[in-house]
């Protein structure tokens, strides 16, 4: 039998997933801190602007892309912890909002993998083959904007599930639903956003900023749910 020393703190899964949520938020913000000041074009920008950026800022693109795998792992861990925290009460009510939210997280991971792949392709080809840039940039913008659909699923499922289980506060759930509406609206207007950008692209930006605040607050809620109990020794 494996023994554990008396008084050694054991970190519960809810706490781990809450810390993962905070880590995810930090990673995606850091990625933008690297890419945006370097001149990453906004959605709907001209292909010539994208060609200039990706041709000159390969280092920034590589650094930002290197953070992506960690973000996907942390987001999945957060989602699994949220499902664990909500599942028992949802089973009692015969609901599955948390699974809807987790599906949204998994799908946004997959979609953003496509975004990162296109960015790396642009960085590799912009300096040598400018004929490929317009098509790749259009694909990037389409994937980036349509990803709002899956973020909206994650926000809706975990916000509604968290509200009904009493895990999140009303302001937190309301923030998540408002963010979901903005991101879904941006995704619905994807043809316009990709073609024109401008004020239409601000819908997605506002929703994304709310999403970052929402996931930080959710991480704190999960950490508070599981305050790392101390494990007693076993004989």
- Quote the mean pLDDT of the chain: 88
Confidence at 229, pLDDT banded by 50, 70, 90: very low
Question: Which residue shows structure tokens 């010539």?
Answer: 48
Question: Which residue shows structure tokens 């900023």?
Answer: 209
- Burial call 161-200: b when 16+ CB within 10 Å, e when fewer: bbbbbebbeeebbebbbbbbbbbbbbbbbbeebbeebeeb
Average pLDDT over residues 181-204: 86
Is residue 207 domain-resident? yes
Domains of the chain: total: 1
Is residue 2 domain-resident? no
Residue 78's pLDDT is 97
Average pLDDT over residues 74-88: 95
Return the minimum-mean-pLDDT range out of 25-34, 85-94, 207-216, 222-231.
222-231
Instruction: Provide the whole-model pTM.
Output: 0.88
Domain around 47: 8-231
Is residue 108 domain-resident? yes
Residue 200's pLDDT is 75
Q: Which residues does 112 contact at the CB level (< 8 Å), separation at least 6?
A: 68, 72, 143, 147
DSSP string computed for 127-150:
TT-GGGHHHHHHHHHHHHHHHHHH
Tens digits of residue pLDDT in 124-149: 887 666 678 889 999 999 999 999 99
Tens digits of residue pLDDT in 8-63: 355 789 999 999 999 999 999 999 999 999 989 988 888 888 888 988 888 999 99
Residue 197's pLDDT is 67
Is residue 109 domain-resident? yes
Is residue 69 domain-resident? yes
Confidence at 7, pLDDT banded by 50, 70, 90: very low
Is residue 22 domain-resident? yes
Confidence at 75, pLDDT banded by 50, 70, 90: very high
Average pLDDT over residues 206-219: 96
The yes-or-no verdict on residue 156 having pLDDT over 50 is yes
């Amino acid at each position: 039998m494996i023994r554990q020393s008396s008084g050694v703190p054991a970190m519960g899964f809810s706490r781990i997933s809450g810390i993962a949520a905070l880590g995810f938020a930090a990673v995606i913000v850091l990625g933008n801190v690297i890419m945006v000041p370097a001149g990453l074009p906004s959605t709907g920008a001209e292909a010539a602007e994208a060609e200039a950026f990706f041709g000159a800022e390969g280092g920034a693109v590589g650094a930002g892309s290197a953070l992506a795998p960690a973000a996907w792992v942390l987001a999945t861990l957060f989602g699994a912890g949220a499902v664990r925290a909500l599942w028992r009460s949802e089973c009692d009510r015969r609901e599955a909002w948390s699974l809807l939210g987790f599906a949204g997280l998994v799908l946004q991971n997959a979609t953003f993998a496509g975004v990162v792949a296109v960015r790396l392709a642009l960085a590799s080809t912009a300096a040598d083959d400018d004929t490929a840039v317009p098509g790749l940039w259009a694909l990037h913008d389409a994937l980036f904007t349509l990803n709002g659909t899956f973020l909206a699923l994650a926000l809706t499922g975990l916000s509604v599930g968290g509200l009904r289980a009493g895990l999140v506060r009303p302001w937190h759930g309301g923030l998540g639903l408002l963010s979901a509406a903005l991101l879904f609206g941006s995704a619905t207007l994807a043809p316009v956003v990709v073609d024109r950008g401008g004020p239409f692209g601000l819908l997605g930006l506002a929703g994304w900023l709310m999403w970052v605040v929402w996931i930080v607050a959710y991480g704190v809620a999960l950490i508070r749910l599981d305050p790392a109990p101390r494990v007693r020794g076993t004989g």
